[in-house]
Structure 1
Amino acid sequence: MRFLQQTLVAGCFLISTTVWAQKNDSLVVAAIVKEATEQSQLEVLAHQLTDGIGPRLVGTPQMKNAADWAIARYKEWGIDARVENWGEWRGWERGITHIDMVSPRVKSLEGMQLAWSPSTKGKTVTGETIILADQPDSISFQKWLPNVKGKFVLISMKQPTGRPDYNWQEWATPDSFEKMKKEREAQTAAWRQRISKTGLNAKALALAIENAGAAGIILSNWSSGFGVNKIFGANTTKIPTIDVALEDYGMLYRLTESGVKTVLNVRADSKELGTVPTFNTMAEIKGTEKPNEYVMLSAHFDSWDGGTGATDNATGTIVMMEAMRILKKVYPNPKRTILVGHWGSEEQGLNGSRAFVEDHPEIVANLQALFNQDNGTGRVANISGQGFLHAYDYLGRWLSKVPEEIRNEIETRFPGSPGGGGSDYASFVAVGAPGFSLSSKSWSYGSYTWHTNRDTYDKIVFDDVRKNAILTAILVYMACEEPEKTSREKAVLPVNPRTGKQGEWPAQRKAKRSGK
């Protein structure tokens, strides 16, 4: 009888504890939603980061300014924050770019120097344009190279249309659309062949043109949308490399191709700053019951600098900052330690997060879960289990606490496949730690904002970003409250149909700790 009484008491205690926990979860979730909805800081954070500080190319003063800004914001919210150095990079700062056609008529052109482009040393350089020649082989190309001396060399294909395909699909006849696509495919193949016959890769070609005495290199890396170009890094070391918008580039190409003398004035100001530190920006809310176990928020801080890095990845950055702010207010004493990593040099190969994984094995070994967001402004639409066999169990339970209007839009894939790259969660997955990507709806991310000159504040959709902050805060709260450590058991990966071999877990890759 006494045993039965003890059993009943224990059972009642367990039931009451479970009910209390569920009630407490509901209260915290409601508080998260209320704070995110009524006291959102997202618009202010985005404005300060993208409009005020601007793009955050690794090695630039703007990257350091962004870290100082983030640390100041965290401290205002009562959250400890710091910078962790992990390497060094070529220091460089963008200046003004002026590109003007002065013959056969006068027109200011839309364009900009690429990242790390050499400057024109405070001067305006004048030169005619010349198109990269179509030579039969590398020997003939070397013989042609002296023709570039003192000239601006056009090295990109002339696009047959500046209209994106969706615009053709809406308005063109099917025959006309197909004709354009075939012409474009033929031109693209011919241009690739033209480059191939030089015998040089992209970097070697740029240096060969530079060494032959060219005034500069002009290219146009169109991103398949109206007015959008992708802006990456220069390969030259002495002369400027300039990206010109498709519309103006096409005009230059056609004029030059038709034999019209076309002259440009180019001034490209930039500063070489020597070698500067590279770093991650970290913030922390210390755990109370299990301080040596960790739940992490993750987003890369750096960007390319064609625009202001708004959707790649200021949106991910402000989601994590807002989630941390909310959690500090409504859940100030988490059971586990909450860490956020704002990574540096993701764009050059996940270097900041890879360095963190190498430098902090004690955190990685005790990581409960990591949530990373890095593909634009859209609301989260997909979460994969990343190949962890039991991820469906804990992620499913955590997601069940998320408001229905957010949860119902999310497709889950369990156990999923482990990500080998793409964004910073992969740095953790590679060492068997549970890192998860909060993958967003597109909003034409690939064509219009990813690494482009149009990745700016006005492209942010704050209603979607707000939902992502709510989702992230709830997932982090639930991961902190989870009674047990999450399982790291890996699923057996399927056979690759191409190779016929068993799938393998991605290997850990080392961080590049010195660049450019």
Structure 2
Amino acid sequence: MFKQLLTLTGAFIATTAISIAQAKPLPQEDLSVAEVLRDRALTSSDAYSIVESLTVEVGPRRAGTEGDRRAVAWAQEKMKSLGFDRVYTEQIEVPRWTRGHAHAQVVSPYPQPLVVSSLGYSVATPKGGLTAEIVEFLDVEALLQASPKQVKGKIAFINKRMEKARTGEGYGPAVQGRSKGMRAAAEKGAAALLLRSVGTDSDRFAHTGMMSINDVENPVPALALSAPDANLLEAMLKRGKPVEVKLVIDNQRHSDGPSFNVIGEITGREKPEEVMIIGAHLDSWDEGTGALDDGAGVAIVMETARLIAELPKRPRRTLRVVLFGAEEIGLVGAKQYLDAHRHELDNIIAISESDFGAGKIWRFDTRLPESKFDIADQMMQLLAPLGIERGHNKSYGGPDSSVFVAEGVPAFGLYQDGTDYFDYHHTPNDTLDKVKPENLRQNVAAWVVMSFLATEMEDNLGRIPSKIKE
């Protein structure tokens, strides 16, 4: 029985019919090939050079920017050089925005500067900035419950701390302030929003990230505040005097424009129309170079495909690597990919995504019909020597993968150690020096086992049932 270690949030799982037949066991020959691939990855995989290339030659690549366009071109050329059989792009439409200067300072009673970063797609302040009193809320729910009189004309300050965990489970509760905070502040007449950074570090860096902006009638400026400066503001407020802050922001929103999903395939030898999708997202935020989020994931799945492409024969099914565009601003590339390929959903045998940094994988999750558990058990025989334990059967495969899982597509999840991930996530500190080559090799070793066996197996994985045994 799978251990329930992490609760799946978000996606509604569609009810679909599945076969009650048990899965055919994987042949020993296939397991032996997967073992060879695993051991080769541990000694000769070079995912690090891929992420190094992406961060050095492209760098920040926020959706709809020049960096994004360079990344799309880079990804196509890199896939071709790695031996993919087919490389192509699919255009998506993305909202565009220019990050300008963001400045914040306490003007009274204890004047000093604050380190901030605009949240994604924040509007600008009026020319010359705005100055208003701070009103503190422990979380977004407290702001939602506040009376407009408490908030009107003030700067709402959400002071929710994120808890550190290997699973990253503290992110969900904390990120609600970023996703919902500006909308709540605007609806209650606030002048602006200040948010304690959604992160686990104590560095004087602010964490940016997307927020809900659709259909907000009168959006207000929204800034993330570094953890030390949130502590500073908290200490000032405890002294019982009104605290006034001045904000000057000059961001600009633009009309929608093009970006792309970049797709590379290793074409199946017998059932090319059936595909296993392994994905990552190509875009990043613009404060760092996107090495962890999600350059490492891009490198892991591309290197996985390269190793499989080097085999004497192609796997039975197609291995499709999808580098999704515009994940950071709301899974835009994944959603548009799903809409464009709904007629092919039955041919997607499974999906998985690498989007949790570059830590070592420690847990193997699935979302499979119970009749297919034996397949996962056989995969575990080769994953266990990598220090990976069996997890639960509630995987959503990763953020972009979740939209496919909601349609009944089976998923695999190779869960990385995220203890320190949110120290760097969405900050200027998301840079190449945080990536360890030995960790990437272990990641690729796990991914190549899972990906090869899924594409080579004779049986398929069916569809996800509405209720799954835990």
Q: TM-score, normalised by structure 1?
A: 0.67
Verify: 1:289 aligned to 2:295, yes or no: no
Q: Conserved in 2, the CA contact under 8 Å of 1:97 and 1:266? A: yes
Aligned residue number for residue 11 of structure 1 = none
| Aligned-partner Cα distance in 1 for 2:133–2:53 | 40
Aligned residue number for residue 116 of structure 1 = 121
Query: What is the identity, as a one-letter code, of the residue corresponding to 1:233?
Result: M
- The correspondence of residues 375-390 of structure 1 with structure 2, limited to 5 A, is 375-390=356-371
Q: Conserved in 1, the CA contact under 8 Å of 2:137 and 2:158? A: no
Aligned residue number for residue 67 of structure 1 = 72
| Aligned-partner Cα distance in 2 for 1:39–1:376 | 18
Change beyond 3 A, Cα 1:286–1:455: same
1:319 is displaced (CA, Å) by 0.6
Verify: 1:38 aligned to 2:12, yes or no: no
Change beyond 3 A, Cα 1:260–1:320: same
Verify: 1:220 aligned to 2:196, yes or no: yes
Query: What is the identity, as a one-letter code, of the residue corresponding to 2:222?
Result: T
For 1:352, what is the secondary structure of its paired residue? helix
Q: Conserved in 2, the CA contact under 8 Å of 1:299 and 1:372? A: yes
Query: What is the identity, as a one-letter code, of the residue corresponding to 2:407?
Result: V
Aligned residue number for residue 5 of structure 2 = none
For 1:273, what is the secondary structure of its paired residue? strand
Aligned residue number for residue 129 of structure 2 = 125
Percent identical: 25
Query: What is the identity, as a one-letter code, of the residue corresponding to 1:475?
Result: M
> 1:470-502 CA deviation, whole Å, 9 max, x = no partner?
2212332233332x231416668369xxxxxxx
1:372 is displaced (CA, Å) by 2.4
Change beyond 3 A, Cα 1:459–1:242: same
Query: What is the identity, as a one-letter code, of the residue corresponding to 1:203?
Result: R
Aligned residue number for residue 337 of structure 2 = 356
Query: What is the identity, as a one-letter code, of the residue corresponding to 1:442?
Result: G
Aligned residue number for residue 453 of structure 2 = 478
Query: What is the identity, as a one-letter code, of the residue corresponding to 1:231?
Result: T
For 1:276, what is the secondary structure of its paired residue? strand
> 1:3-26 CA deviation, whole Å, 9 max, x = no partner?
xxxxxxxxxxxxxxx88x469x44
Query: What is the identity, as a one-letter code, of the residue corresponding to 1:460?
Result: V
Q: Which has the higher helix share?
A: 1
Verify: 1:85 aligned to 2:91, yes or no: yes
- The correspondence of residues 335-354 of structure 1 with structure 2, limited to 5 A, is 335-347=316-328, 350-354=331-335
| Aligned-partner Cα distance in 2 for 1:146–1:362 | 49
Q: Conserved in 1, the CA contact under 8 Å of 2:284 and 2:294? A: yes
Aligned residue number for residue 228 of structure 2 = 247
Q: Conserved in 1, the CA contact under 8 Å of 2:395 and 2:413? A: no
For 1:95, what is the secondary structure of its paired residue? coil
Q: Which runs of 5+ in 2 are unaligned?
A: 1-26, 166-175
| Aligned-partner Cα distance in 2 for 1:432–1:238 | 36
Change beyond 3 A, Cα 1:372–1:493: same
Structure possessing the higher radius of gyration over alpha carbons: 1
For 1:390, what is the secondary structure of its paired residue? helix
Q: Conserved in 2, the CA contact under 8 Å of 1:154 and 1:217? A: yes
2:158 to 132, 156, 159: 156
Change beyond 3 A, Cα 1:93–1:391: farther
Q: Conserved in 1, the CA contact under 8 Å of 2:370 and 2:468? A: no
For 2:449, what is the secondary structure of its paired residue? helix
For 2:251, what is the secondary structure of its paired residue? strand
1:74 is displaced (CA, Å) by 1.0
Q: Conserved in 2, the CA contact under 8 Å of 1:371 and 1:472? A: no
For 1:438, what is the secondary structure of its paired residue? strand
Change beyond 3 A, Cα 1:38–1:420: closer
| Aligned-partner Cα distance in 2 for 1:479–1:141 | 54
1:442 to 418, 424, 432: 418
1:92 is displaced (CA, Å) by 1.0
| Aligned-partner Cα distance in 2 for 1:81–1:346 | 20
Aligned residue number for residue 319 of structure 1 = 300
Change beyond 3 A, Cα 1:419–1:35: closer
Alpha-carbon RMSD: 4.3
Q: Which runs of 5+ in 1 are unaligned?
A: 1-17, 167-191, 496-502, 504-516
Q: TM-score, normalised by structure 2?
A: 0.73
> 1:41-89 CA deviation, whole Å, 9 max, x = no partner?
x333223434554444444443333222211211222423222124x33
Aligned residue number for residue 425 of structure 1 = 401
Q: Conserved in 1, the CA contact under 8 Å of 2:355 and 2:398? A: no
Aligned residue number for residue 231 of structure 1 = 208
Q: Conserved in 1, the CA contact under 8 Å of 2:123 and 2:222? A: yes
Tell me whether 458-467 or 95-104 shows the greater mean CA deviation: 95-104
- The correspondence of residues 6-25 of structure 1 with structure 2, limited to 5 A, is 21=29, 25=32
1:278 is displaced (CA, Å) by 4.8
| Aligned-partner Cα distance in 1 for 2:358–2:416 | 7
Q: Conserved in 2, the CA contact under 8 Å of 1:417 and 1:493? A: no
Q: Which has the higher contact order (CA 8 A, sep 6+)?
A: 2
Aligned residue number for residue 183 of structure 2 = 203
